[in-house]
Amino acid sequence: EDVEILIPNKCSIRSDWVCDGWICMFAISVKAGFKFPFSPLMVGILNTLELLPCQLMPLIWKTVLAIEAVCREHGPTITLEDL
């Protein structure tokens, strides 16, 4: 799927604008290394906590991405139940 990134400004749409198929993300999450699509671990965290991606602090994004990177390099996969 194609991903379109819009950066709102005062002359265009607002970051709290609601549109089907769109989500609001903070730029810092992308800078921290977040990529689409969400990993199964991140989907599990968001679903379990009943949060939107923009409601997670950047440190959580960095921590989950670091856990996933270590698992990719050194094995075993960590699941939501492990956390």
DSSP 18: -
End-to-end, the C-alpha distance of the chain in Å comes to 30
Report the distance separating Cα 45 and Cα 18, nearest Å: 23
Structure tokens at 30: 């992308």
- One-letter amino acid identity for 33? G
Q: Global pTM?
A: 0.64
pLDDT at 28 over 60: yes
Mean pLDDT value of segment 7-30: 64
Mean pLDDT value of segment 9-20: 59
Q: pLDDT class for 35, splitting at 50, 70, 90?
A: confident
pLDDT digits (tens, 9 = 90+) for 58-72: 788 888 888 989 998
pLDDT at 7 over 70: no
Q: pLDDT class for 6, splitting at 50, 70, 90?
A: low
